[in-house]
């Protein structure tokens, strides 16, 4: 329903409708990403209309503001100061975090670049010189090598569980390949090569990449497939790798719940980890323990920008700092002069 409301609002404004089509078709962005952009722009333009008309900026009256008047002339009239007002509004009135504000600014910047460069329906770009919201870079949460092994032992030891082999293969894949949750659940058996040494994966932005799997993962997958040989798959046309107990492709939510269960069983609930943190674990272990070059790691993880991958180098920098502080001379003080 929320998505339908977003699309309905976009259709009310031909400019937003065309922008949505441009992102989907010309830039090949995923519908989910594009709809998030449209939703952010919908709130932004409603705020501008409400602010100019001295209307409420929250509540039902705000939600019912029409975007029919958001045309080329209107978007060309938006001033930089109004964007700053919008940032304050989203932070103070709607309680948006810095990360949420950064995404909203990305939507506005993308829209105005489209309007002034791609289709040239306006000359004014009020977002050009506005910097995105500051996001504090924090080191990713992850499991150590020993903790990862303990998690796998916990899953493997759950012999009373009817989905043990499936769950073990899933968690092993996360920890060895750094796959995203959405990528893992969409794997089909036909995506493997004949020797089952690599998988063709569709990542963010519908970009395809090859993910190599090691013998441990391959053996776990083979064991799981052998066990589910007689389980009928109800999905037509494709052959999902991981099935639910009902024979359907396993859902994102189901995988998250299984991972959370085993993290709790292993005693790691205090770490507040998730499937995405298992991806962090894989990346950190490859960089930290395996000595994988950061640019190779970028390809493995399917990151478009290198700076996204470089967060994993911060972990090593912390190790360097810790090692430096453990030097026996780290607490040395010169003797006072007589």
CATH of the domain at 258: 1.10.443.10
User: What distance in Å separates the CA atoms of residue 170 and residue 168, rounded to the nearest whole number?
Assistant: 5
Please state, in angstroms and rounded to a whole number, the distance separating the CA atoms of residues 240 and 14: 39
How many domains are contained in the chain?
A: 2
Catalytic residue numbers read: 180, 204, 276, 279, 303, 312
Inter-CA distances, 16 with 106, 191, 298, Å: 15, 36, 33
- Residues 82, 151 within the same domain: no
Q: Report the chain's terminal Cα–Cα distance, integer Å.
A: 81
Extract the tokens encoding 120: 């040239």
Q: Which residues contact 229 (CB under 8 A, 6 or more apart)?
A: none
Gap between the Cα atoms of 335 and 23, Å rounded: 68
Q: Tell me if 335 is assigned to some domain.
A: no
Coil, strand or helix at 54: coil
Task: Decide which of 80, 103, 118 is a domain's last residue.
Answer: 118
In a domain, residue 139? The reply is no
Report yes or no on 295 lying in a domain.
yes
152 and 107, same domain (yes or no)? no
**Is 129 inside any structural domain?**
no
- Same domain as 169, residue 114: no
Considering the domain boundaries, does residue 125 fall inside one? Answer: no
What are phi and psi for residue 211, nearest 5 degrees? -115, 120
Determine the Cα–Cα distance for residues 289 and 188; give it in Å rounded to an integer.
Answer: 30
Strands (E), 34-114: none
- 177 in the same domain as 318: yes
Q: Are residues 104 and 169 in the same domain?
A: no
Residue 114 and residue 261 share a domain: no
193 lies in a domain?
Answer: yes
Based on the domain organization, do 58 and 196 belong to the same domain? no
The CA distance from 104 to 100, in Å, is: 6
Q: Which of 141, 163, 96 is nearest to 273 (CA)?
A: 141
Same domain? 51 vs 173 = no
Q: pLDDT tens string for the chain (338 positions)?
A: 445 555 455 456 889 989 999 988 888 888 888 888 999 999 999 999 988 888 888 888 888 888 888 999 999 999 998 998 898 888 888 888 877 888 888 899 999 999 999 888 988 899 887 765 544 445 557 888 899 999 999 999 998 899 999 999 999 999 988 888 889 999 999 999 988 888 988 887 777 888 888 899 999 999 999 998 877 776 777 889 999 988 899 999 999 999 999 999 999 887 778 888 888 888 888 877 677 767 777 777 776 666 555 655 655 555 545 554 555 545 556 566 66
User: Left, alpha or beta for 59 (phi > 0: left; psi -120 to 50: alpha)?
Assistant: left
What percent of the chain has a predicted confidence (pLDDT) above 90? 30
Q: Which of 273, 275, 300, 276 is nearest to 286 (CA)?
A: 300
For residue 191, being part of any structural domain is answered with: yes
According to DSSP, residue 292 is labeled -
Same domain assignment for residues 250 and 201? yes
> With contact defined as beta carbons under 8 Å apart, do 163 and 279 qualify?
no
Residue 328 lies in a domain: no
pTM here? 0.57
Question: Which residue range forms the structural domain that includes residue 23?
Answer: 2-118
Q: Are both 254 and 190 inside the same structural domain?
A: yes
Going along the chain, which residue ranges are E strands? 198-202, 208-212
Q: Are residues 99 and 232 in the same domain?
A: no
pLDDT of residue 135: 46
Q: How far is CA 269 from the centre of its chain?
A: 21
| Cα(277)–Cα(142) distance, integer angstroms | 6
Whether 302 and 205 share a structural domain:
yes
3-state secondary structure of 249: strand
């Amino acid at each position: 329903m929320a998505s339908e409301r977003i699309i309905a609002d976009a259709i009310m404004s031909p400019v937003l409708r065309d922008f949505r089509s441009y992102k989907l078709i010309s830039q090949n962005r995923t519908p989910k990403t594009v709809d998030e952009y449209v939703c952010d722009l919908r709130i932004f333009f409603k705020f501008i209309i409400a602010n100019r008309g001295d209307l409420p900026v929250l509540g039902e009256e705000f939600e019912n503001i029409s975007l029919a008047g958001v045309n080329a002339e209107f978007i060309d009239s938006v001033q930089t100061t109004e964007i700053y007002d919008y940032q304050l509004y989203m932070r103070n009135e709607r309680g948006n975090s810095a990360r949420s504000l950064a995404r909203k600014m990305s939507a506005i910047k993308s829209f105005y670049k489209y309007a002034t460069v791609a289709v040239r329906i306006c000359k004014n770009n009020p977002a050009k010189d506005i910097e995105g919201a500051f996001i504090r870079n924090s080191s990713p949460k992850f499991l150590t090598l020993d903790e990862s092994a303990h998690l796998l032992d916990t899953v493997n030891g759950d012999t009373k569980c009817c989905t043990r082999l499936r769950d073990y293969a899933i968690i092993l894949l996360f920890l060895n390949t750094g796959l995203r949750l959405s990528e893992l659940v969409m794997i089909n058996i036909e995506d493997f090569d004949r020797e089952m040494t690599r998988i063709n994966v569709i990542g963010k932005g519908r970009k395809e990449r090859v993910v190599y799997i090691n013998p441990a993962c391959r053996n776990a997958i083979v064991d799981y497939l052998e066990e589910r040989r007689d389980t009928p798959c109800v999905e037509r046309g494709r052959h999902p790798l991981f099935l639910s107990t009902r024979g359907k492709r396993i859902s994102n939510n189901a995988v998250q719940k299984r991972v959370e269960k085993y993290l709790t069983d292993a005693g790691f609930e205090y770490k507040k980890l998730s499937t995405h943190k298992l991806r962090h674990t894989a990346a950190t272990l490859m960089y930290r323990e395996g000595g994988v070059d950061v640019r190779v790691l970028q390809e493995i993880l399917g990151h478009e920008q290198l700076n996204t991958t470089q967060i994993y180098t911060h972990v090593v920098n912390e190790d360097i700092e810790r090692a430096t502080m453990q030097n026996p001379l780290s607490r040395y003080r010169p003797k006072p002069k007589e």
